[in-house]
Structure 1
Amino acid sequence: MTDAHLIERQVSQEELLRGHFLHAFRDTVRLPNQALATREYVVHPGAVMVIPLLETPEGLKLVLERQYRYPVGQVMIEFPAGKRDAGEDPWRCAQRELQEETGYTAGQWARAGVLHPVIAYSTEVIEIWFAKDLRLGARQLDAEEFLDVFTATPAQLMDWCRDGQVSDAKTLTGALWLQNTLSGSWPLVWQSLD
């Protein structure tokens, strides 16, 4: 099967914004029926999200964050995540973001997959990583970063997702991965941090 009947072809491009980490464009495209249309989108450097699994005497807990997100004007519950630096390996980025934001380092890592959070207007791709064998150290937040770190059970997270307390797309996708991983449906390949 071919997708030729769906493909849009770029005719021209106009740069709208070159910000600190976002780059916005307006393209004129030729549609499959040969008509012209415009597409506005943001080029994003990519990011990672970490699903940290913390073994406690009470059972498995998840390391989560609460952070105010200015565009939506509210504090959101999220898994640790962050933007990749130019040329940065996603696994190294995951390790860096987990340690900087939560203070935890992990002895075991597993890459789960990728998600495209806003395909209609952004090139952003987020790699999903699981981390376990956690050890707590000091956080190293960026100067403009303010967030709370807390733990919750997988059941609590699923309840918050169901009830709408968690509405962040990457965290909802992480909850899907978590649920299927814990059930054994989606096995992970773990690697040690050497």
Structure 2
Amino acid sequence: MKKMIHFAMLFLIHFSVLGQEKFTKDLDFDGIIDSVYVNTNESRIICMLSSQNFKEIKSKPIEILNEMSGIIDSKNGFTFFNDWMRAGYKNQFRYNKKTKKIQLIGMSRYEFGNAANDGSGESSVNLLTNDYIGNWNVYDHLANDENGELIKLPTIKTKMKFGIINLEDFGEDTYFNFSEKCSTLYYKEKKQIFNSK
């Protein structure tokens, strides 16, 4: 019993430390290393830039913060990811030299769907160009001689506008809003496919 309690405490400490680890990189392009991390106590992304005297720049609270969340490197910036068992999000940030702010420039998401993988797929949006691409699957119960089959919907390409979102404006509502817009496009495409049969 003591070993189990000891193991559980080490496990919790391990994840607590992981959530506080800082990702370091020159984000504001001044030759000095900056840092960004997910503060699990506050449930926020915190970024500190040398050009702003390492003052904390905080996101809005992210209430649904999973153990499988954190910061990873991306081209000219960083990506915040938040993964669940069957779905997840990535949110890419980059320093904007004109506004001197950390700006969200892209979002992507994936889903495995239900047990039949109905609704599985992935999508992304480039917030600089407003270009959206969605690759989704739907389970057709009548396909394959009514044995059912997972079919790929035609790739959805359209414009999706969000406006400028800086780190201080960013919260889980940002990517949940993306998810809702994405879902609307998915169901519209699904309806067209099944209505044409």
Bigger share in helix = 2
- Normalised-by-shorter TM-score class: under 0.3
Structure with the greater alpha carbon radius of gyration: 2
**TM-score normalized by structure 1?**
0.27
Higher strand share: 1
**Structure possessing the higher relative contact order (Cα contacts under 8 Å, 6 or more residues apart):** 1
Tell me the TM-score normalised to structure 2 length.
0.27
